[in-house]
Amino acid sequence: MNITETYESMGVDPKIYNLGEEVLKDCKDAFDRIDKLAEMNQLKVLNAFRKNQVSEACLHGTTGYGYNDFGRDTLEAVYADIFHTEDALVRPQITCGTHAIALALFSNLRPGDELLAPAGRLYDTMDEVIGLRDSKGSHKEYGVTYKQVNLTADGGFDYEGIKNALTDKTKIVHIQRSKGYEPRKTFSVEEIGNLIKFIKGIKPDVIAFVDNCYGEFTEAIEPTDVGADMCAGSLIKNPGGGLAPIGGYIAGNKECIENAAARLTSPGLGKEVGASLEVMRSLYQGIFLAPTVSASAVKGALFAAGIYEHFGFKVVPSFAEKERHDIIQSIVFNDANKLIAFCKGIQAASPVDSFVKPEPSDMPGYDSKVIMAAGTFVSGASIELSADGPLRAPYAAYFQGGITWPHVKFGILNTVSELYKENLVSL
């Protein structure tokens, strides 16, 4: 049985397979660049491991209070070196990306301070953190105000609007690197650096914070290399390499990280407590594999863009945009049925729960029903092959992940098969 027949036996029509091969011809140069970038980032990570003398003893966890957890402290030193920061907080007690972001913000904001979002609306789950939707323990309850400056019509930063929005109360500027549930472009590290330079030229003491979710290792540098005082993300996204079962990180200057640690545990305890249990091996191996795993996801995003542009759908970024700044590919369907079919195709291509049919449902932190496809080894891990989208106009799918490139390739071809089977696209 040859490769085409193998795909056909798994439900992919030969015409769909051949379309994929045509798209791949235009991906070769971009794939070569992605592989070279992965090599650079792999060396950066390896160098951090060697510098901090990671040993077998680091791979064993602790229980109870977690005092003198050598592996935990060394892992945080590794992260600090990877992100070129003074310190880092990397803990399984950080439950998700939203938790990591909220922790970074709450710990460095005080009543009377203002949070400014200079890149427009933040991700949906931040609404209740800020207090845009009423929720227990929000910034609003603590007397922290929020202001945002929307992007310009062409998707860029409104520098004049940002300048006018900055006040003496502005304590943190929150820059969301990835698109969230908005079909806008993802910002490059260079663009983020230029924005930070502009803001600090007006208000030098402001804390520049970057939500780095989905962006790690997609470029040779990170936001903390261009002036960010803090960045944060989830370990079940890029930096966990598909192995981390839980956790989040914050990397930044020492004071910001000390504040975050005091908020995560308790004032007076800070980073000294927090048992690592039995996850250290997965966290170390995950960050070690993260550059190549993230590269597979970026290849998949580019491939998905090429496939779906062929069918006339708007994709963000476009297929022509070969340099990527995160692992997310949005596909705008303008049709709920097409969005649902796409997610069904991803779920059916998954190694776990492939037989499950995803359905739109209410989700904590979201103001509309969301459909999620993630038949993953780590529940909900978005560095693994996954897709989701809110059931609201423009009915866009947000596709991400894929630990290996061959799996991502099959997953995207399988989504086309699902849409074709439901007469939602024509070959």
Q: What are phi and psi of 11, to 5 degrees?
A: 100, 5
Q: What are phi and psi of 135, to 5 degrees?
A: -160, 150
Report residues of the chain scoring pLDDT below 70.
none
Whether pTM exceeds 0.85: yes
Rounded CA gap, 218 and 256, in Å? 25
Question: Domains, the chain, ranges and CATH?
Answer: 3-42+290-421 (3.90.1150.60), 61-287 (3.40.640.10)
Q: What angle do CA 245, 330, 324 make, to 5 degrees?
A: 80
Rounded CA gap, 345 and 358, in Å? 10
At residue 1, the pLDDT reads 78
At residue 146, the pLDDT reads 98
Are 215 and 248 in contact by the 8 Å Cβ rule? The answer is: no
At residue 194, the pLDDT reads 98
Q: Which residues contact 168 (CB under 8 A, 6 or more apart)?
A: none
Rounded CA gap, 413 and 333, in Å? 17
Q: What angle do CA 330, 334, 338 make, to 5 degrees?
A: 80
At residue 183, the pLDDT reads 74
At residue 128, the pLDDT reads 95
At residue 385, the pLDDT reads 97
Rounded CA gap, 407 and 191, in Å? 32
DSSP β-ladder status, 207-211 and 170-176: parallel
At residue 129, the pLDDT reads 96
At residue 368, the pLDDT reads 81
At residue 180, the pLDDT reads 83
At residue 248, the pLDDT reads 98
Enumerate the β-bridge partners of residue 396: 332
Residue type, 327: I
**Cis peptide preceding 317, ω within 30 of 0:** yes
At residue 11, the pLDDT reads 95
**Cis peptide preceding 394, ω within 30 of 0:** yes
